[in-house]
Structure 1
Amino acid sequence: MTAPHDITIFTIGHSNHGLDHFLALLETAGITALADVRSKPASRFCPHFNRENLKAALIAHGISYVYLGDALGGKPADPALYTNGNPDYQKIAASAAFKGGLARLMAGAKTYRIAMMCAERDPRQCHRTHLITPALVAERVAITHILSDGGLLPHSELAAEMAGGQFDLLSI
């Protein structure tokens, strides 16, 4: 286990952002690598977020790209990781693939300033927060959410808000 907060990992949702806005969000936060944690790294509505298009755009802006959705995605291919047709986060988090993906993410964060990315704009509604973040926090990794307006929200503040029953989609 690492010492308290030796590592910080960021999260971001690509939502329906234009590519320039998305890249500006990453650059403003000083992100040097992006870990794509989508189970299916494609977007019908925003083709610039399709895996190869996104990878090329990031590399052109000096940001490394790694796909980890096969290990850290919220909708795994393995049917054994579902209960009653829904992804079972406890089963996913206990899987060897998930643990391996976490290890890769944490190792990368020792060299890069990493953001893990999924499609969902609001971190309250994404597996980044409900599946991956608890496992990282248990390893004493600090998590910061990059919001669509460029603001940075420490996960400790988001967790306190969620525990207090506060939920306002318009605040993001």
Structure 2
Amino acid sequence: MSSQIIYTVGHSTRLRSELASLLKHYNVDTLIDIRAIPYSRYNPQFNLETMITEFPKNGMTYEHLSSLGGEPPSREVMAQAKSCSERSRGFATHMESEDFKRGLQYVLSLAASGKSVALMCGELRPEHCHRFQVADVVQANGWDVQHIVSETDLRHHPANLFTY
């Protein structure tokens, strides 16, 4: 199974059309939004309702899967956090939950069925995002994980010997 790939991507400040073009470049047909809260004050083009109505026009499936996003952080944490990783403190505990495990199995089954899947969050750099932790678990399940940063920057997820 190691030749099969699951991608991750951060929407960052891109235009929605730029994200769609980037995903098409890597032949992604299914975008799974793993943000705990599928809204962005600064990038409303990636808010849930907009993505549900607009993203399929690019020939791709869009789904929000909150089980891979964890519990929404408190207002205090949201006000002080500078990155997704700061907002995701305690995420490792959530990864042990049945909710997370069901979400993970759903993603793996989609990919195993032949879908080209990308997991999306907000941060451009995967190492600043909880999707890096999700990638550890995906990789531990036998999948190759590639982080899409740009059309010329595709990063192989490093092996984490402590994830089992």
- Whole-Å separation in 2 of the counterparts to 1:19 and 1:146: 15
Using the TM superposition, name which of 32-41 and 46-55 deviates more. Answer: 46-55
4+ residue segments displaced more than 3 Å: none
Q: Indicate yes or no: 2:118 matched with 1:122.
A: no
Q: Does 1:76 align with 2:78?
A: no
| SS of residue paired to 1:109 | helix
Query: Aligned equivalents of 1:90 and 1:18: distance in 2?
Result: 31
Which residue in the other structure is 1:35 paired with? 32
Hey, what's the Cα distance between the residues in 2 that align with 1:29 and 1:86? 28
Any unmatched runs of 5+ in structure 1? Answer: 80-84, 161-172
Unaligned runs of 5+ in 2: 75-86
Superposition deviation, residue 25 in structure 1: 0.6
Q: Deviations over 1:70-107 (max 9, x none)?
A: 2110x41499xxxxx97323311110000000000001
- Aligned-residue offset at 1:153: 1.3
Q: Distance in 2 between matches of 1:91 and 1:133?
A: 16
- In the TM superposition, residue 22 of structure 1 has moved relative to its aligned partner by 1.1
Q: 2:5 is matched by which residue type in structure 1? A: T
* CA displacement 1:83-135 (0-9 Å, x = unmatched): xx973233111100000000000011123101000000101100000x20111
8 Å CA contact retained: 1:35, 1:114: yes
TM-score (norm 2): 0.81
1:38 counterpart SS class: coil
CA contact (8 A) 2:88 2:130 kept: no
Percent identity reads 29
CA change 1:86–1:5 in 2 (3 A) is closer
Is 1:49 the counterpart of 2:51? The answer is no
Taking structure 1 as the reference length, the TM-score comes to 0.78
Give CA deviations for 1:26-69 in whole Å, capped at 9, x if unaligned: 1111110000000000111221100111122221111001111x
Between Structure 1 and Structure 2, how many residues are aligned?
A: 147
RMSD, aligned CA = 2.2
Code of the aligned partner of 2:116 = R
